[in-house]
Amino acid sequence: MSEVSLPRAHREFDVSHLWPRLKATVKVWRQRDRDRRFLAQMSAYERADINVPQSAIEREIAKPFWRA
């Protein structure tokens, strides 16, 4: 007896492994957003105190949350 296989489009696709990855990704995005908002709220004195050029801080603040 021969075995019949379904075309790839009709096979079940297991997505259970995607949920933990999605949660981890969203967690990273939220942390980036918090960090960038914190940088934006720092005073000029605090920004100078962390010894990072102002241009680098402004570039970081301008990035969207999904961009590392």
pLDDT in tens, 41-57: 999 999 999 999 999 99
- Average pLDDT of span 48-68: 96
Residue 6 reports pLDDT greater than 90: no
CA dihedral 41, 45, 47, 53 (to 10 degrees): 140
Helical packing angle, 18-41 and 54-62, nearest 10°: 140
pLDDT at residue 10, as a whole number? 61
pLDDT at residue 9, as a whole number? 63
Alpha helices in the chain (DSSP H): 18-41, 44-49, 54-62
